[in-house]
Amino acid sequence: MLQIKDLYAKAGDRDILRGITLDVAAGEVHAIMGPNGSGKSTLAQVLAGNPAYEVTGGSVTYQGIDLLALQPEERAQQGVFLAFQYPIEIPGVSNAYFLRSAFNSIRAARGQEEVDPLEFLDYMEKKLELVDMDVEMLSRSVNMGFSGGEKKRNEILQMAVLEPRLALLDETDSGLDIDALRIVASGVNALRRPDNATIVVTHYQRLLNYIVPDFVHVLAHGKIVKSGDKSLALELEAKGYDWLVEPQGALAS
């Protein structure tokens, strides 16, 4: 489904990704782990098309197409979804309107008919249950005044609504208490299907107790330094990252 080959990217003058190669097949869950500043979040942002990052080398093929040639909205329309580490607030725009606009934009791009607000509300009911959110959340402005946990649940709600083929979860566990973590994880698990794939970016092993990965990759200084199965995450939990990560000085030019 996704083939990342020798991907380089920078933000401003700073090189962040320095040759990432990764294959993700349909039905798989990959965890990307690594210390702060290793480039985990950047990888997710670059795949989603954040214009703040510049791709300087390599290629990304998604379902046979050149993902990097697409605008962010086209990637979304092709089924790429990024759950943000820091969900953005949009004052004055109701969550319901935002969600329906996103849903309809994607449907329209796929040549499907748009749904009206009433139909959409019906559709939303089940989705809200999935992340244990009250319908009242729909009338609030997007992420405005939401607690950290509510924001993250709102991300998963969006994911549930948009039903992506490739979901990128960027530090979805950060700032969550254990109950919220469980809700978020069960939401993600409920959305797992043989024809979609998930990349989970996380600093801690904790989330992987709930969202069990097929593969774990460790990122350091913008490169994958080790890959393994879920036991690697447990090993990292026990030993930390130091044994895998060369000192920064060795790489810095």
Partner 1 sequence: MGGSIETLVNREYQYGFVTDIEAESIPRGLNEDTVKLISAKKGEPKWLLDWRLKAYARWTTMQEPHWSNVKYKPIDYQDVIYFSAPKPKKTLGSLDEVDPKLREMYGKLGISMNEQKRMNNIAVDVVMDSVSVGTSFKAELSKLGIIFCSFGEAVREHPELVQKYLGSVVPHSDNFFAALNSAVFSDGSFVYVPKGVRCPMELSTYFRINAEGTGQFERTLIIADEGAYVSYLEGCTAPKRDTNQLHAAVVELIALKDATIKYSTVQNWFAGDENGEGGIFNFVTKRGKCAGENAKISWTQVETGSAITWKYPSVILQGDNSVGEFYSVAVVNNHQQADTGTKMIHIGRNTRSTIVSKGISAGQGNNSYRGQVKVLPKAAFARNYTQCDSMLIGNRCGAHTFPYIEVQNQTATLEHEASTSKIGEDQIFYLTQRGISKENAVSMIVAGFCKDVFKELPMEFALEAQQLLGITLEGSVG
List interacting residues with partner 1 (CB under 8 A). 48-52, 70-77, 81-82, 84, 87-88, 90-93, 97-98, 101-102, 105-106, 109, 141, 158, 162
Whether 98 contacts 90, CB under 8 Å? yes
Kindly state the smallest distance separating residue 151's Cβ from partner 1, in Å: 12
Closer to partner 1 by CB, 97 or 210: give it.
97
- Which CB atom, from 172 or from 205, has the smaller least distance to partner 1? 172
Closest contact distance (angstroms) between CB of 88 and partner 1 is 4
In three-state secondary structure terms, 169 is strand
CA distance 200 to 40: 10
Q: How far is the CB of 67 from partner 1 (least distance, A)?
A: 13
**Given phi > 0 = left and psi -120 to 50 = alpha, else beta, which region is 39?**
left
Which of residues 14 and 252 has its CB atom nearest to partner 1 in the complex?
14
Considering the complex, what minimum distance in angstroms separates the CB of residue 95 from partner 1?
A: 11
CA distances from 137 to 39, 94, 124, 151, 172 (A): 33, 9, 11, 10, 19
> What value does the CA radius of gyration of the chain take, rounded to a whole number of Å?
18
CB 247 to partner 1: min, Å? 33
Quick one: 88 or 238, whose CB is closer to partner 1? 88
Q: For strand 197-201 and strand 166-170, is the pairing parallel, antiparallel, or unpaired?
A: parallel
Q: Distance between CA 13 and CA 54 in Å, rounded?
A: 10
Candidates 98, 103, 73, 100; CA nearest to 87 is 98
**Residue whose CB is less far from partner 1, 96 or 224:** 96
**25 vs 69, beta carbon nearer partner 1:** 69
Shortest approach of partner 1 to residue 159 CB, angstroms? 10
The span from the CA of 94 to the CA of 131, in Å, is 18
